[in-house]
Amino acid sequence: MKPYVSYKPSGVPWLGEVPAHWQVEKVKFQARLRGEKAVGTNGARYVGMEHVLPKVGKFNPVVDGTQEEAESTVNVFSKGDVLFGKLRPYLAKCVVADTDGVCSSEFLVLAPSDEVVPAYLNATMLMQEFIDAVDASTYGAKMPRADWGFIGQQRLPLPPPDEQQAIADYLDAETARIDTLIYEKDELIGLLREWRQSVIAEAVTKGLDKSVATKPSGVPWLGDVPKHWVGKRLRDCVEGCSNGVWGDEPDGGDDDIPVIRVADFDRNRRQVVDYETLRKVDSSQRGSRGLRPGDMLMEKSGGGEQQPVGMVVSYFGPEGAVCSNFVARMRSREGVVPRFMVYLHAYLYASRVSNISVKQTTGIQNLDSTAYLSEACFVPPHDEQQAIADYLDAEAVKIDDLIDHTHDEITLLKELRAATIADAVLGRVDVRAKT
């Protein structure tokens, strides 16, 4: 697509130049703030902040907000209104209402004028530069909110209505195409993760030689195992399980050391290579907690419904670090290959065996390590453990690389989506011929 024939300065630094025949108007002249309120939903559709996806101008298909009861004061909206989230505006939650209804008071309800196409206004208000400007104006540290007085004064491009509609139609088609590609890439990542887990599960429960004789394990989640593998408890495979320590604020002294947190876990590759946190931990607190490469780290507290607590990873960071109080260190016994055990724990985690030992009395999950390490397992001879670990290191890395590559493709597609919208709504290209 080609640019427009001529441009003019917009007078707004982040807008730059706009097509010569376009206007640049304040938001308050493009839409009025609808002030109608209600108490409770009274059966109307309710839209909360959680019902709108960030940055993409769409409703969240996962969260049902069609008939949700809200007892507090809500804002009333009509079909075609633009709902702009004023709470934490950096989340960029802005959407065109597709029905009448009511919404959280954290939304500004904007009724576009007759000369404004709602979908076009929505797209301009989702521009990152506009969001940044609004976010910079917020008040309140913990719950930052934007003010209509500021938003209404911001100037946005305003093409003739027929061009707004052409841009909106073009973006509907182009973003739908890109969103479909992003969805397919997300689906591929899910399939790759399932493939990786099946490779791990097969290796740590059946071994690499499928011709060996097997025997019943007596463990429901294991089934038959190679006949020569030895039954143990997980605790028999480690020297012990030592809880970490958080220490104090660093002061630049000799006692400032790395403290490994759950946030440092590379959950996809099941390892910790680097760290982000220094804490002051004196020698009396360190004791026998010092880490060395090859140790296993187990997440003891944290997690959630989608990502339960209990992940076990290999530690490959600097010697002399410690783990935090939400993490426990495990060191393999003689004759046990640490990487084999990490893959075995990965299988138990993905199979939700570790969930049996999770306790949750508040919002935080806690893993009962004593109970978990009492789970049964079967372990091959040392050389076979090493062969399985080497095999999985090679195979899992191939799959992990594919997953990383797919994530990169998704990032590029999201950048393409943003650039496509920016080019169209700011008039950098003339989409009328395309539509």
pLDDT tens readout for residues 243-261: 999 999 999 888 899 999 9
**Token pair of 206 as six digits:** 């059946």
Predicted confidence at residue 66, as pLDDT, reads: 47
Percent of the chain predicted with pLDDT > 90: 82
Long-range contacts, 418-421 (Cβ 8 Å, 24+): 418/128, 420/171, 420/174, 420/175, 420/178, 421/123, 421/126, 421/127, 421/171, 421/175
Predicted confidence at residue 67, as pLDDT, reads: 46
Q: 63-72, 144-153, 386-395 — which is least confidently predicted? A: 63-72
What are the tens digits of pLDDT across the range 125-164? Answer: 999 999 999 999 998 888 999 999 999 999 999 999 999 9
What residue segments make up the domains of the chain, in order of their start? 23-158, 230-379
Taking residues 310-334, what's their average pLDDT?
93
**Residue where the block lists tokens 């419904």:** 305
> CA-to-CA distance for 22 and 348, rounded, in angstroms?
61
> Which residues are CB-neighbours of 245 under 8 A, at least 6 positions away?
259, 281, 285, 286, 289, 322, 324, 325
Strands 46-47 and 101-103: parallel
Maximum pairwise Cα distance, the chain: 81
> CA-to-CA distance for 103 and 284, rounded, in angstroms?
56
What are the tens digits of pLDDT across the range 258-291? Answer: 999 999 999 888 999 888 899 999 888 887 789 9
Environment class of residue 159 by beta-carbon count within 10 Å: exposed (0-12), middle (13-18) or buried (19+)?
buried
Taking residues 8-23, what's their average pLDDT?
96
Does 69 score more than 70 pLDDT? Answer: no
Does 435 score more than 60 pLDDT? Answer: no
Find which of 30-44, 169-183, 355-369 is predicted with most confidence, using mean pLDDT. Answer: 169-183
Amino acid at 434: K
Report residue 434's pLDDT band, with 50, 70 and 90 as the boundaries. low
CATH class for the region spanning 23-158:
alpha beta
Question: Does the structural domain 230-379 have CATH classification 3.90.220.20?
Answer: yes
Taking residues 341-362, what's their average pLDDT?
91
**Residue where the block lists tokens 């206004």:** 121
Report residue 58's pLDDT band, with 50, 70 and 90 as the boundaries. very high
* 23-158 against 230-379: fold identical: yes
Taking residues 5-31, what's their average pLDDT?
96
Does 43 score more than 90 pLDDT? Answer: no
Predicted confidence at residue 11, as pLDDT, reads: 94
